[in-house]
Amino acid sequence: MNVVEVLVEGGKVSPGPPLGPALGPLGVNIKEVVGTVNELTKDYVGMEVPVKITVDTAGKVAITVGVPPTSALIKRDLGIEKAKTDSTTDYVGDISLKQIREIAEKKREEMLATSLKSAIKEVIGTCVSMHVKVEGKDAKEIQRDIEEGMYDEVIT
C-alpha cells in the first residue's frame, strides 16, 4: 500500500507537482485522481487543503480530504487576506457566533475538544490571536460570556 499526502489548493489541482510526480510511479490514472480531488475540494477554492491518497496493491485509490486550518476558514468567512494588524486596538474583522459554530463543526474531528462548546471556544481562541471581533466584541469577552452561559442557545 502506498500513501501520498499533499497540501493542494482547493479545486485547482493539476497533474503537475505536487500530485502528478507523486502518483506517476504508482500506476494510477492521474487525470481521474486529479478530477476527484478537485471535486472533493471545490468548497475550499483559494485555500490550502490537506489531501491523503492511498493506493492499495490492486491499484484501488482512496482519497481523504482534510479541512483547511481554522485561521484560513475564518479569513475566508471574513473575506480578508491578512489575519493580524500591527495595532493592538484595530481589528481585522467581525465574525458571528453562527459562523464560528460552522467552523467548529467542520474542524471538530481534528480538534481535541470534547464538546461542541469546547470546539467553539477553541475557534474563538484563534480569533483572539488573529485580532478578530466576535459578535462586535473582543473575542476574549465572548469566551467569558460563553463560560457564563450567555450564548448557550447559539452554541448548543
Where would I find the H helices in the chain? Answer: 19-23, 30-41, 70-78, 97-107, 116-130, 139-147, 152-155
pLDDT value at residue 113: 86
Q: What is the CATH number of the domain that holds 54?
A: 3.30.1550.10
Which one, of 19, 11, 17, 14, lies nearest residue 44 by Cα?
11
Sequence length of the chain is: 156
Structural domain total, the chain: 2
Q: In Å, how far are 64, 85, 92, 125 from 146, measured between CA atoms?
A: 34, 26, 22, 12
Q: CATH number of the domain that 78 lies in?
A: 1.10.10.250
Q: Are residues 34 and 82 in the same domain?
A: no
Q: What is the pLDDT of residue 27?
A: 87
Q: What is the pLDDT of residue 86?
A: 63
Of the residues 50, 65, 80, the one at which a domain ends: 65
Look at residue 147 and give its three-state secondary structure: helix
* Domain boundaries, position 49: 2-65
Distance CA 49, CA 54 (A): 16
113 and 126 in a single domain? The answer is: yes
* Whether the Cβ atoms of residue 91 and residue 144 lie closer than 8 Å to each other: no
The pTM for the full model equals 0.77
Per-residue pLDDT of the chain (156 residues; tens, 9 = 90+): 899 999 898 999 999 988 888 888 888 999 999 999 999 999 888 888 999 999 998 889 999 999 898 998 999 899 888 766 666 668 889 999 999 999 999 998 888 888 999 999 999 999 998 999 999 999 999 999 998 988 888 777
80 and 140 belong to one structural domain: yes
Candidates 86, 93, 90; CA nearest to 126 is 93
Instruction: Give me the pLDDT at residue 19, please.
Output: 87
